[in-house]
Structure 1
Amino acid sequence: MKAIKKSIITQNIDNFKINRKMRRFYVPKSGDVAVFQVLSIGKHKAVQGENGNNTYIFPGDKILATFGTRYASAQFEGYVPTKYYTKYQLLGQGGVVGVLESLHAKFEDIGPTQLKLIGYAVDDENKVINTIYNGVERIQFNPIKRPYEMYLSVGASMDSGKTTTAAFLSRGFMMQKKKVAFIKLTGTVFTKDCSIVRDCGARTAVDFSYCGYPSTFLHSTNEILDILETLLDRVERINPDVVVIEIADGLLQRETKSLINHKPFMNLMDGVLLSCADSLSVNSGIDKLTKINQKPMLLSGMFTASPLMVNEVRNETDIPVFTLDDFTNKISFSSVFPNIKELISVE
């Protein structure tokens, strides 16, 4: 068979056989690994390869990917199939494949990249290989206070700027000589967010795909909390002073809504940062969080690119509004984080 291009979610899958016979009767689960052939190119012209770089794909290519779900209000909605299909769709560049349910209007003309299932990747016992906790120990959530500070970056919606907020928060702490770790807790596998935050100054950055999840959409809150505990165990190797956590999509999204309403989870946080795309969504975001006693300590996001919207928000609330420059301004930063000197690491 022609060389198979591995996607990053399958980076740890080396030894497998291809079972073609079971493709018509086996009902896959999230994380199940399979070999697909590219039929046509749509939105995704590449998969993120096992080294994190883009691996461009063309009709006829074979790729190793996993079945999974996706919730992305500005891109695709898709699910793990419950029956055999002649075509499947590439839902995410990290290697998530499923059945498309809906897509944003901006992609209607191009559509998703279309795939054909060649066969499932199986082990020596003919069992379908699954990436979830494959080679990684699952650690049960323990809601105890940690010896480091934890900050949560949330957004009013997808593409509101919450990753940039997390990245520049990490940079602000780094400039104050603090060791920062970043965790992307929910979403669909794609390492760009971790790379951005790492480039901004985080000593280590990791996401849910470390535990083998192609996506966290439709997984239970208990599962996601165990992912958090497993990832905290991973980043604690650097003895961080601060852990910055990002949860994907908006405040109304299923997993995000569940997490921000989970008191043991939220009690771990030393503060919540809210990112918004425009000034009006700031009001609704503050209202949502305040009603659950999680008033944000800081506001940022896409709206801060507009001085006019910044002024609109500042006229509406006394919560500090941070532009990107404010995160790297010592005076502005210390006004929100007054205990910064007490938390500086001894290098």
Structure 2
Amino acid sequence: MSLVIHPRDFPSMAEEHVDPERLRRAKKAYTTRFLADALSEDAGGYELWDAAPSAGDVVLARVAAIGHHKRLESPDSRRQAMFVGDEILVAYGNRYAPDQFRAVVPADLAPCSLVAGGGLAAMVVEQHSDIVQATSIEPIGLLARNGAVVNLQDFAPHRVSSVTTLPGRPQVIAVLGTSMNSGKSTTLGCMVNGLGRAGLTVSAGKATGTGAGNDPRLFTDAGARRVLDFTDFGFPTTYLLDYPTVRGLLTSMIDALTTAETDVVVVEIADGVYQGETARLLRDPVFHNAVDRVVFAAADALGAAAGVEVLRQGGVHLAAVSGLLTASPLAAREASGVIDAPVIDTYELCNPSTAVKLLPAGK
């Protein structure tokens, strides 16, 4: 496979050829799965560079101490146990996770942390008080080949385009939420299942977030005909990406999920409506032109009321509220009493007649 060259200035670059067998033995992360496929065919000709990393760059690192993440998600989503001394192939990236870590790409290859089980190397800036320290890793070198550092985009099967209009697109529903762990992915999976059982062909995607395989595989198990996430476009996470790229990811993903047979595209927008990239999307006319309806997942009644108000102010067409709050009948009744949108039990969305009511009438 030919590589996309990312020209950079490496004033202190040091090179070391790496034994192909060493690369084969290293534990690979989910974020590096397309590179892992290439390495299984040809692991020769790679080098390790000592240079300043950027988001998406692949690094060979050594596990120094086991912390919060004790397992590394493999390219096929198996949870690999990690041991001190293991060599792992992961990608640098920024992370935004209120329940875990806020972390950024460091300026050099100094010791840092594994901040996501899907394979993300970064420097922890803040963390939740209930979370133990992150797993410590020691970068050995950035993977390089053909005179350039290997970046996930070099092997990704899709590219972000500048398309902002989607003429002829199918119906599109976006799932947003109050925060991480508010039930967005489960809500989306149940919607996919219900719409599919209604006889519709559904494609599903995750446009923003932190790279991991559990959500895409849930969407597949729910019955989605075609599934993509942002890692298919070469991004280990979307936090701190420039905004045009975030917007382009959404429209490019909807475009890539659209086939002649597709009746509905359902897309998850990660984290909460106050998160920077998500908040800006909600104010963007491109989002409103690309998305017909929104289903909002909330963890409690107060979050549902506040989130619905944010969506209303943004002019979003809200179809329903669902998510974690519906696990509690009392919380669901509280929400129903203060918001003017249907509150639907998450698993009721698997009912075909319930799911199809979320679709815009006459489209």
> TM-score, structure 1 length as denominator?
0.90
Displacement of 1:117 in angstroms is: 0.9
Q: Counterpart of 2:318 in 1: which secondary structure?
A: coil
| Match among 89, 93, 99 for residue 74 of structure 1 | 99
Number of the residue aligned with 2:68: 43
Question: What does residue 169 of structure 1 align with?
Answer: 191
Q: In the alignment, does 2:159 pair up with 1:134?
A: no
Residue 293 of structure 2 aligns with which residue? Answer: 271
- Map 1:241-320 to 2 at 5 A: 241-320=263-342
Q: Structure 2: how far apart are the matches of 1:69 and 1:263? A: 27
What secondary structure, in the 3-state scheme, does the structure 2 residue paired with 1:297 have?
A: strand
Matched, 1:28 2:53: yes
Deviation by residue 1:88-118 (Cα, 9 ceiling, x = unmatched): 10011111101111111111xx311100011
- Which segments of 5 or more consecutive residues in structure 1 lack a partner in the other structure? none
> Any idea what the Cα deviations from partners look like across 1:109-132, whole Å, max 9, x if unmatched?
x3111000111111032x211112
Going from structure 1 to structure 2, the CA distance change for 1:139 and 1:306 (only over 3 Å counts) comes to: same
Tell me whether 1:105 sits opposite 2:126 in the alignment: no
Partner of 2:82: 57
Identity %, equivalent residues: 29
Q: Which moved further from structure 2: 226-235 or 263-272? A: 226-235
1:209 aligns with 231
SS at match of 2:165: coil
* Cα pair 1:39 1:60 within 8 Å, conserved: yes
Q: Tell me if structure 2 keeps the 8 A contact 1:194–1:207.
A: yes
Q: Of residues 94, 103, 119 in structure 1, which corresponds to 2:141?
A: 119
Letter in 2 for 1:194: P
Label 1:145 to 1:39 Cα distance change in 2 as closer, same or farther (>3 A): same
Structure 2: how far apart are the matches of 1:284 and 1:41? Answer: 38
Matches of 2:335 and 2:156, distance apart in 1: 47
Equivalent in the alignment of 2:14 = none
- Determine if contact 1:300/1:323 at 8 Å carries over to the other structure: yes
Mapped to 1, the partners of 2:251 and 2:352 lie a distance apart of 32
Structure 2 unmatched ranges of 5 or more: 1-18
Amino acid at match of 1:72: A
Distance 2:360 2:100 in 1: 39
Once the two structures are overlaid, the 10-residue window that deviates more, 140-149 or 214-223, is 140-149
> In the alignment, which of 57, 76, 95 is matched to residue 119 of structure 2?
95
SS at structure 1 position matched to 2:203: strand
Q: CA deviation at 1:331?
A: 4.3
Q: Cα deviations across residues 141-184 of structure 1 (Å, max 9, x unaligned)?
A: 23234331000100011111111111111111011011111110
Instruction: Please say if residues 18 and 119 of structure 1, whose CA atoms lie closer than 8 Å, have aligned partners that are also in contact.
Output: no
Indicate if the aligned counterparts of 1:181 and 1:242 stay in contact, CA closer than 8 A: yes
* Structure 1 range deviating more: 56-65 or 309-318: 309-318
Q: Which segment is superposed worse, 237-246 or 184-193?
A: 237-246
Compute the RMSD of aligned alpha carbons. Answer: 2.0
Q: Is the 8 A contact 1:181 1:205 kept in 2?
A: yes
Cα pair distance change 1:56/1:316, threshold 3 Å? same
CA contact (8 A) 1:133 1:211 kept: no
* Greater Cα offset, 300-309 or 324-333: 324-333
Task: Give 1:225 shift.
Answer: 2.5
Q: Secondary structure at the match of 1:312?
A: helix
Give 2:3's aligned residue: none
Do 1:41 and 1:114's aligned partners in 2 also have CA atoms closer than 8 Å?
yes
- Does the Cα contact within 8 Å between 1:31 and 1:68 map onto a contact in 2? yes
Decide whether the 8 Å contact of 1:18 with 1:120 is kept in 2.
no
Give yes or no for the alignment of 1:220 onto 2:242: yes
The verdict on how the C-alpha distance between 1:16 and 1:121 changes in structure 2, with shifts beyond 3 A counting, is farther
Q: Is the 8 A contact 1:16 1:124 kept in 2?
A: no
Give the Cα–Cα distance (whole angstroms) in 2 for the partners of residues 96 and 255 of structure 1: 19
1:182-202 CA deviation, whole Å, 9 max, x = no partner? Answer: 110001100111111211121
Deviation at 1:19, TM superposition (A): 4.3
